[in-house]
Chain A
Amino acid sequence: EDQVTQSPEALRLQEGESSSLNCSYTVSGLRGLFWYRQDPGKGPEFLFTLYSAGEEKEKERLKATLTKKESFLHITAPKPEDSATYLCAVSGTASKLTFGTGTRLQVTL
């Protein structure tokens, strides 16, 4: 069965303090690894899709990387508006997404 574990559960950063979020996964036949951002009470907002080990994608202050066992979401010089829960999910041979429980990020001034 596909599994996703995210760490840390919660992270508090000061504005400008860079860090990384981890997503470890086991999946049968990886079709894609996905990162989403979710604000309280709202639906997940798509950030990145990674398909194969070694792939990297960037968007503003965020950069996602992928290895055969884990993915990292690097946040460079975060701002308070980056505060949210970041969800990682995998798609394997089944058609579904399997999610982790997320990392709650708080960025303070």
Chain B
Amino acid sequence: ETGVTQSPTHLIKTRGQQVTLRCSSQSGHNTVSWYQQALGQGPQFIFQYYREEENGRGNFPPRFSGLQFPNYSSELNVNALELDDSALYLCASSRSSGGETQYFGPGTRLLVL
């Protein structure tokens, strides 16, 4: 069984640019959640997608947006990058929304200069 995969593994961007991060969910999972993890902190919830619809959003501005595709893979898009967006971005998939165990991918390390 293939686990959660993310691409790219590392990314360097400059302030003001836009970035797209990708996530493939685990087989049999229809829900994908995205988290941002700053150094030394716990992951912070960005949003969740369930069957291609947004199903909850954390305290992140609208320049953070996402998509989920019919095969349940997902994208996270961040516009107008700021220095504080530098972090590890984590994707997690689960069998469904609402209390199911979430399994995480390896993450994408984003550095904004």
Contacts and interface: CB of A to CB of B under 8 A. Distances in A.
Nearest to A102: B42
Interface of B: 4, 6, 31, 33, 35, 40-45, 48, 50, 55-56, 58, 88, 90, 92, 97-107, 109
Contact of B41 (A4, A31, A101): A101
State the 7 A-B residue pairs at the shortest beta-carbon distance, nearest first: A31-B99, A99-B42, A96-B45, A43-B104, A95-B56, A95-B97, A44-B104
A71 interface: no
A32 B99 contact: yes
A99 B43 contact: yes
Contacts of B50: 95
A25 B98 CA distance: 18
Contacts of A91: 98-99
A100 B42 contact: yes
Contact of A101 (B42, B55, B90): B42
Q: Which of B41, B45, B97 has most A Cβ within 10 Å? A: B45
